[in-house]
Every structure is written in structure tokens, then in C-alpha cells.
């Protein structure tokens, strides 16, 4: 549903069906809506069988990377070791707020998905790592977990099956990088949230050094529906000519658009119709100029490119960008793209964990150049420098934060170069380097 607006007829509400319905938040309300039936069914099944169903459903990771969920789960074997499931609810990608709504309105849907996922990967313990700023979702999910324990759904004898299922809610401290899966595990372990070098991959040595699976909120919440209605049902959503992207997907839409909010559509939905029909198009008297379709880390599209794109993993790649997390950011003709891109770069420079040289220095350098250009002090050689820095920042670091900073800059510079050029200032001699000595310690002191 187009929460907070009424559902549009062309949406396919599965996850968002009960958004805005306070009664669905309670255990009784959730049960009345068919909740926990899938979990009960799944607990009677062999984990390998569940893995197979999820594989057949075509569900792919909804956090942004789009890795097939069933295949990820099949890395977990009954090897007698302690396994962990982590639910990544550290939704921090600028422009993305779909997990927030899932947790606000259907917390039991998430708890059910987490419990089901834990069983499917031979784990007894699951952690839900929620972004620190999400105060309401934390309260909702915590209440749901408590209700589930009280009702015997979780605990030493989950749903009377004799199996142990524990779900812990962990509140993050608000670092973007803790949404990176290995940084999330470090953070859960009480360490600094730095991404780890891979290998070893989490399926081999993850949380507390044990085999771990980590899934996004939307992914896990989807699984009970698949178990309930079958793989074929879920696989039936999507465009016919693309067997690789199936099901429904939540898109968070924000920016200069008539009806911002969350929308759930089937994979492969035409992006142009999505923007103009479902979301109501540009604000009165305005024109859409650019769209970031999948969270701030993906390449920016022009309006023409966006309107021709299809909303699934392959469709977005064909349009030169990525589906990412489904966070759609719309810019209209009022926006200064140089300033917007500089703001994005500043975000990454602020959130870089400081491990890799390229990211630590490159994100900050990129920001300084962009902000100088935005202030009218840029010169033409800055463009080459920006692209070259971006090249040096891409594909060379532990995680992809560095790439994420370089991507919007490169695409912005390519597609909105005229806006950059319009801002160039007088070319100054390179010999005149401003020397400004400021301490960053004052903030810490």
C-alpha cells in the first residue's frame, strides 16, 4: 500500500497489507490475520525442505545486494555447530525507509520471519539489529518479541515443538556502516563497527566466530508468506520475460514527488508509470529532473532514463543503475545537482569507518572538491580529479562504502555535467593552496 496514502489499485500488497492498521501490531491481531501459521507449519518441516522452497520461490535479498535467499540459506548445513541468524534492521541507506514501516506496523511478521529463518538455517538464536534512531520500531519489535515469548512461540519450547528459538533485539548506535553485514556482527559482539575482511564469509565464521546467516528485514518478513502460500505463488509475481527477479518489492519514495511513501509492486513494474501514476508525478508546476532508484549508493538516472526503466534487478542494471534497497529519491528542476551530490558525498565521508585508505581519505577529498565547486570555486580540472579519485576508490576496499561514494559522483558528473560547468569559478594558480589549520579534536573534547 502507498502508506501513508491509500493503496493504489496497481500495487500488490503482501508485506504492506496491514500498514496503517494498529490492530495488526498485537499478537492477537496478528494471529487473527493468519499470523504464525507459517511458523507452525515450518517448525514441522525439515530445514533443508524450507531452504528448497525459498530457493524455488526466487526470493532474493531485499537489503540491496539481491543475493538469492534460498542459496544463502543452503550454505548452512546440519554440522552440529552453533549457528546464528542476524536480521539486519539497521536501515540507514539514505532514501530507504521500508523496513521501518514493516517494523512499525507488522512487528510480528518480522518476528515470525526471523524465527522461521532461524529454524531454516539450523540456528536456535537470532539477533535483530535495529538502527539506533528507530525508536518506535524498536519499541514495536521489542513488544512483539516479548509477546511471542509470553505466548510460547519463542523460548525453550517454541510453539510446543520442543525446539529452542531465541530472538534478541539489539539497538545499534546509529552508524551507517553497521548495516554492512560483518560490521554489524562486530557491533553485536561489542566491538567497533568495522567491516571484516572476507574470507572468511559469515556462513563459515560470522557472529562470535560461528556460521551465521544475515538477512534483511524485508527478506525475512517475506518468507512466512512463501511458506504459507507456496513457492509457486510467490514465483508468479514479476514480469514474464525475467525469471530472475520474482515476487513483490517495497519501494520507499521520497523527495520532490506528489505522494511520497512506501509502495509495494511486483518485480518488473514500469518505473515511469510507478513515478507518474502511483506516486503522482512531480509537484504542481515542477518537472522531475533526476531519480536515484535504489538508495543513495546507486548511479543517478535522468528522468528519461528512469521513465524507461523496469523495477527489478535486471531492469535497473539495463538502465545503468541498480535496484539496491528500493529507496527512490526524486529531484525536480529546483534542485542543484552539484549541491545534492556534494551532500551525499559528505554523508559517506562522515560515515566511513576509517579502515581502508581509499575510503577514509577519498570520501573526504571528494566532499571537499564537490563543496568547493558548489561554492563557485571549482575549475575544470576538478572533474578529472573527481573521476580519477572515484576510480581509485572503487573495487579496492574491504566493503563497498567507498564505491558507494564514488558512484553517484561519477554518474552525476556524467549526466549533469552542464550543472557542474555552470558553477566553475576563476581558475587560480595551483601554487596558491589555502592553508587552514583547524583541529578536529575540539569536537571530541
Partner 1 sequence: MSETTGPKMVTLTIEGRTAVVPEGTSLIEAAKTVGVLIPHYCYHPGLPVAGVCRMCLVDVEKFPKLAPACATTVMEGQVVHVHSEKAREARTGVLEFLLINHPLDCPVCDQSGECELQDYTFQEGRAESRYEEPKRFNPVEDFGGDVLYVPNRCILCTRCVRFMGDVAHDPVLNVSERGDRAFIGKADGHDLTNVWAGNVVDLCPVGALLSKDFLNKARAWELDRSASICTGCSQGCNITVETRDNTVVRLKPRPNEAVNQYFMCEHGRLDYRWINRRDRLDQPQVRRADGALRVADWEEALDAAADTLRGRRVHVLASANASNEALFLAERLMAASGGRGWFRIARGAEAPLPGVPDLSLRAERAANATGARLLGFEELTGTPAIAPADAVLVLDDTLDGELPAGLVEALVRGATLVHAGTTLPAAIAGRASVVLPLTNHTEEEGTFTNLRGRVQRFLQSRTAPGLARPSWFVLGDLAERLDASAGFALPAEVFGAMASAHAAFSGLAYERLGLRGLPVLDAEARGLTVTDAVSA
Please report, as ranges, the residues that interact with partner 1 according to CB under 8 A: 175, 177, 192, 197, 349-358, 360-365, 368-369, 372, 385, 388, 391-392, 395-398, 430, 433-441, 444
Residue 241 or 437: the one with the smaller Cβ distance to partner 1 is 437
Whether residue 87 contacts residue 129, with contact meaning beta carbons closer than 8 Å, is answered with yes
Q: How far is the CB of 181 from partner 1 (least distance, A)?
A: 16
The answer to whether the Cα torsion of 170, 175, 178, 183 is positive or negative is negative
List, in sequence order, every residue forming a beta bridge with 424; answer none if it has no partner.
378
Q: How far is the CB of 440 from partner 1 (least distance, A)?
A: 5
Q: How far is the CB of 368 from partner 1 (least distance, A)?
A: 4
β-strands 125-130, 84-89: how paired?
A: parallel
Residue 9 or 440: the one with the smaller Cβ distance to partner 1 is 440
Classify burial at 363, counting beta carbons within 10 Å of its beta carbon; exposed 0-12, middle 13-18, buried 19 or more.
buried
β-strands 288-292, 301-302: how paired?
A: antiparallel
Q: How far is the CB of 254 from partner 1 (least distance, A)?
A: 25
Residue 9 or 443: the one with the smaller Cβ distance to partner 1 is 443
Residue 284 or 431: the one with the smaller Cβ distance to partner 1 is 431
Beta-carbon count within 10 A of 240 CB: 6
Residue 33 or 423: the one with the smaller Cβ distance to partner 1 is 423
Residue 318 or 375: the one with the smaller Cβ distance to partner 1 is 375
Q: How far is the CB of 230 from partner 1 (least distance, A)?
A: 36
Whether residue 60 contacts residue 313, with contact meaning beta carbons closer than 8 Å, is answered with yes
Q: How far is the CB of 386 from partner 1 (least distance, A)?
A: 10
Distance separating alpha carbons of residues 274 and 11, to the nearest angstrom = 9
Measure CA 124 to chain center. Answer: 25
Q: How far is the CB of 184 from partner 1 (least distance, A)?
A: 16
List, in sequence order, every residue forming a beta bridge with 328; answer none if it has no partner.
253
Whether residue 131 contacts residue 172, with contact meaning beta carbons closer than 8 Å, is answered with yes
Residue 35 or 206: the one with the smaller Cβ distance to partner 1 is 206
Q: How many residues does the chain have?
A: 445
Amino acid at each position: 500500500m502507498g502508506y501513508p496514502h491509500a493503496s493504489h489499485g496497481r500495487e500488490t500488497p503482501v508485506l504492506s497489507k496491514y500498514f496503517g492498521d494498529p490492530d495488526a501490531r498485537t499478537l492477537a491481531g496478528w494471529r487473527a490475520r493468519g499470523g504464525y501459521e507459517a511458523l507452525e507449519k515450518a517448525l514441522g518441516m525439515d530445514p533443508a525442505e524450507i531452504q528448497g522452497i525459498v530457493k524455488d520461490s526466487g526470493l532474493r535479498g531485499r537489503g540491496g545486494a539481491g543475493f538469492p535467499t534460498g542459496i544463502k540459506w543452503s550454505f548452512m548445513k546440519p554440522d552440529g555447530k552453533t549457528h546464528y541468524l542476524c536480521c539486519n534492521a539497521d536501515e540507514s541507506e539514505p532514501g530507504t525507509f521500508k523496513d521501518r514501516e514493516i517494523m512499525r506496523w507488522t512487528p510480528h511478521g518480522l518476528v515470525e520471519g526471523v524465527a522461521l529463518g532461524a529454524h531454516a538455517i539450523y540456528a536456535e538464536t537470532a539477533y535483530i539489529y535495529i538502527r539506533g534512531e528507530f525508536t518506535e520500531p524498536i519499541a514495536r519489535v521489542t513488544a512483539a518479541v516479548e509477546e511471542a515469548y509470553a505466548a510460547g512461540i519463542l523460548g525453550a519450547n517454541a510453539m510446543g515443538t520442543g525446539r529452542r528459538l531465541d530472538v534478541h533485539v539489539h539497538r545499534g548506535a546509529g552508524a551507517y556502516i553497521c548495516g554492512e553485514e560483518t560490521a554489524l556482527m562486530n557491533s553485536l559482539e561489542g566491538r567497533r563497527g568495522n567491516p571484516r575482511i572476507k574470507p572468511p564469509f559469515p556462513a563459515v565464521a560470522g557472529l562470535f566466530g560461528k556460521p551465521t546467516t544475515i538477512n534483511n528485514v524485508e527478506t525475512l518478513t517475506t518468507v512466512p508468506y512463501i511458506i504459507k502460500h507456496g513457492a509457486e505463488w510467490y514465483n508468479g509475481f514479476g514480469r514474464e520475460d525475467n525469471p530472475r527477479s520474482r515476487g513483490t518489492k517495497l519501494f520507499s519514495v521520497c523527495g520532490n514527488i506528489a505522494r511520497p511513501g512506501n509502495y509495494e509492486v511486483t518485480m518488473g513494474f514500469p518505473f515511469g508509470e510507478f513515478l507518474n501514476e502511483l506516486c503522482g508525478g512531480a509537484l504542481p508546476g515542477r518537472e522531475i529532473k533526476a531519480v536515484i532508484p535504489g538508495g543513495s549508493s546507486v548511479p543517478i538516472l535522468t528522468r528519461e532514463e528512469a521513465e524507461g526503466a523496469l523495477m527489478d534487478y535486471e531492469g535497473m542494471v539495463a538502465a545503468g543503475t541498480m535496484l539496491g534497497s528500493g529507496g527512490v529519491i526524486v529531484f525536480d528542476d529546483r534542485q542543484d545537482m552539484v549541491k545534492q551530490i556534494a551532500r551525499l558525498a559528505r554523508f559517506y565521508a562522515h560515515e566511513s569507518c576509517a579502515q581502508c585508505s581509499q575510503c577514509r581519505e577519498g570520501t573526504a577529498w571528494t566532499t571537499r572538491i564537490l563543496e568547493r565547486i558548489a561554492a563557485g570555486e571549482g575549475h575544470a580540472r576538478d572533474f578529472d580529479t573527481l573521476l580519477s579519485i572515484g576510480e581509485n576508490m572503487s573495487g579496492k576496499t574491504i566493503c563497498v562504502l567507498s564505491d558507494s561514494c564514488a558512484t553517484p559522483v561519477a554518474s552525476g558528473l556524467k549526466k549533469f555535467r552542464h550543472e557542474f560547468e555552470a558553477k566553475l569559478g576563476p581558475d587560480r594558480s595551483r601554487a596558491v593552496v589555502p592553508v587552514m589549520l583547524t583541529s578536529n579534536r575540539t569536537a571530541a573534547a
